[in-house]
Amino acid sequence: SQTIHQWPATLVQPVGSPLSLECTVEGTSNPNLYWYRQAAGRGLQLLFYSVGIGQISSEVPQNLSASRPQDRQFILSSKKLLLSDSGFYLCAWSGQGGAYEQYFGPGTRLTVT
Amino acid sequence: GENVEQHPSTLSVQEGDSAVIKCTYSDSASNYFPWYKQELGKRPQLIIDIRSNVGEKKDQRIAVTLNKTAKHFSLHITETQPEDSAVYFCAATTSGGYQKVTFGTGTKLQVIP
């Protein structure tokens, strides 16, 4: 069966510091991968998606970036965090082609102070 | 792009009563409609979904209906229980190179014992 991991689970970082969040998927090959952000009490905002290694598309302009160095690894980064970057970051995967279901990782709760 | 509206934003029901959450979408190309349940501090979990070639789907106490003509779909929970309390998100998905999912803004359901 497929499993999706995210780490760290929680993170407190000062404004201006760098960020690296990691997501890995097990039990599937060539998944579509997604990064979402959820502000407190709000909905889900798609940040990035990837259909393959090195292929990243951004949905919203921001000071975040994403990379996919391996088939089942997705990384979210920032060079300098802003207060507004605080939130619950969720990685998700779906299959290719006609497999529509999207499954979420456990999330990383980021607080920028 | 796709726009998904979800109502109500909050819903309180007595244990044992039914709950209905409604969503509308704008893009007629959307062909897959999942519903997610998110408990406090946890990841969204897929609870039921429906594809555009189906009008209704049921899984025990939960059911989803889809009206493609009117571009709306609904989640029905019968015989509600306290453990049904959570935030529920609807979503509309268009397929292509990847599954672009647009989420509704969420409904906070409270089941009163």
Q: Which residue has the higher pLDDT, B88 or B95?
A: B88
In tens, the pLDDT along A70-101 reads 999 999 999 999 999 999 999 999 987 666 78
Distance CA A91, CA B23 (A): 24
Q: What is the dihedral of CA A81, A59, B103, A11, to 10 degrees?
A: -20
pLDDT in tens, A26-52: 999 899 999 999 988 888 999 999 999
Residue closest to B99 by CA, chosen among A46, A66, A25, A71: A46
Give the integer Cα–Cα distance in Å for B104 and A30: 28
Question: Could you tell me which residues of chain A have a Cβ less than 8 Å from any Cβ in chain B?
Answer: 32, 34, 42-44, 46, 49, 51, 90, 94, 98, 100-107, 109
Contact A106 B43 (CB under 8 A): yes
Of A42, A101, A104, the CB nearest to B43: A104
Least confident of A53-62, B36-45, B75-84, B85-94: A53-62
Q: What is the mean pLDDT of residues B24-42?
A: 94
pLDDT over threshold 80, residue A61 = no
pLDDT at A42: 84
Residue B109 has pLDDT above 90, yes or no: yes
**Average pLDDT of chain B, as a whole number:** 94
Pairing of β A19-26 and β A73-78: antiparallel
From B32's Cα to the closest Cα of chain A, the distance in A is 7
Mean pLDDT of B75-98: 91
**Nearest by Cα to B20 from B60, B54, B61, B50:** B61
Give the per-residue pLDDT at B97.
Answer: 62
- Work out the pLDDT band at B98, boundaries 50, 70, 90: low
CA distance from start to end of chain B: 41
